[in-house]
Amino acid sequence: MLRWLSNHLAPSDERGLLLLNRAFASLAARERVARALEILPGTHVLTSSFGAQAAVTLHLVTRVRPGIPVVLIDTGYLFPETYRFVDELTQRLELNLRVYRSEASPAWQETRFGKLWEQGLAGIERYNRLNKREPMDRALADLAAETWIAGLRRSQAPTRAQIAPIERRRERFRVHPIFDWTDRQVGEYLREHRLPYHPLWDRGYLSIGDWHTTRSLDQAGSLEGLRFFGLKRECGLHEG
């Protein structure tokens, strides 16, 4: 049934997608990955921001499909700790890392537009389009991705509270194998497989992006202020 649904699922087929999601919701996370790789169209890719708990999805997926392309969008403004974390996990998990960046360097952008992240919501959204959305669209196109896997979870933020195991985004399938996991389940998986949190986690950084728009919980004072000065929560990578 799952294979038939995936083969006959049109982008606008909401009922078919609902049935597929009901089936996937009953599976364990590893089985969701395995079944998605089996029945959803290829090429398959995995995307990761190498954030606080990224090691879970990276480990989970690459144990099922070693060598799957892992897409990282590098804005040029990631924390030094993030770049070291990328190197650590790439070596440890033998990742097939594919790094994409804006076609305009950070220095060139600042010369042209100033520091966009200091220009209110409109500036932040322009920054995200240039440095996150466009490189991601290019990565998916270059890799001819038809299905991409991401580590989004419902408990991460109110903006993610309604995500489903499988969605249609940008004319592709997007799979969320740990969509229903709690923070406790994430911690248990990391301990079981001896995987690290992002090094900034212990300093109160619960959501980690660029250094200039990321705050620790102590600095922000609330969960709403952890990213983008509280003006928004999502960067655009998973929207649209």
Query: What is the per-residue pLDDT for 10?
Result: 53
Among 146, 142, 140, 128, smallest CA distance to 213 is for: 128
Query: What is the per-residue pLDDT for 155?
Result: 78
Is residue 90's pLDDT more than 60? yes
Is residue 1's pLDDT more than 70? no
Which pTM does this prediction carry?
0.90
Does the active-site annotation cover 36?
no
pLDDT above 90 as % of the chain: 70
Cβ atoms 55, 82 nearer than 8 A = no
Query: Residue 187 burial by CB count (10 A; 0-12/13-18/19+): exposed, middle or buried?
Result: middle
Cβ atoms 186, 158 nearer than 8 A = no
Angstrom distance (rounded) from CA 18 to CA 37: 19
Cα dihedral 81, 85, 91, 97 sign: negative
Cβ atoms 176, 167 nearer than 8 A = yes
Of residues 46, 164, 200, 235, which has the active-site annotation? 235
Q: Residue 195 has which token pair?
A: 């995987």
Q: What is the DSSP string of 51-94?
A: -TTHHHHHHHHHHHSTT-EEEEE--S-B-HHHHHHHHHHHHHHT
Q: Which CATH class is domain 2-230?
A: alpha beta
For 204: left if phi > 0, alpha if psi spans -120 to 50, otherwise beta; the answer is left
Q: How confident is the model at residue 203 (pLDDT cuts 50, 70, 90)?
A: very high
Average pLDDT over residues 192-217: 94
Sorted by where each begins, the domain ranges of the chain are 2-230
| 4 vs 26, more confident | 26
